[in-house]
Amino acid sequence: MKAKVFLDTNILLDLFVPQRKSDAAVLILTAVKQNKIEAFVTTQSLLDAHYISQKSGVGYPDYARLMKELRQYVNIGEIDILDFDFAIDHHTGDLEDDAQYACALDACCDYFITRDKDLLAHNSDLIPMTVVSPEEFLEAMQDN
């Protein structure tokens, strides 16, 4: 069975911002393009990534080109009111992260891939989704 992964905003930035370029993020995107894994992001992440990319010097034409390519391979969802309510009820200190996490749960993702150290502490036996860094995800995929 193909793994379902949620890509946090910081992983998108690893792909879009040259100063942040990450081999692990590129390998994950390559696996998505090869249909080895199924990836999800939110419109919120896409908007946040644009804002941060722009502040990092990535021009809109480059961002738009990357977005059009990404849209061919990645499922894009929205944070709805139920995700927002979940985030409020299960607030851990960062409401946006909590809402992203809820959206990933809705999509039945197996993995939530992030570089956020606070989110990496969210693993629980009660939740069937594992929060991992890109490097940890790649390692887990090699083990399978």
Residue 53 to residue 63: CA distance in whole angstroms? 8
Q: What's the total number of domains in the chain?
A: 1
Residue 38 to residue 142: CA distance in whole angstroms? 16
pTM attached to this predicted model: 0.90
What is the tens place of the pLDDT at every residue in 42-88?
999 999 999 998 888 888 898 899 889 899 999 999 999 999 998 89
Containing structural domain, residue 23:
3-143
As a whole number of Å, the end-to-end CA separation of the chain is 11
CATH number of the domain bearing residue 105: 3.40.50.1010
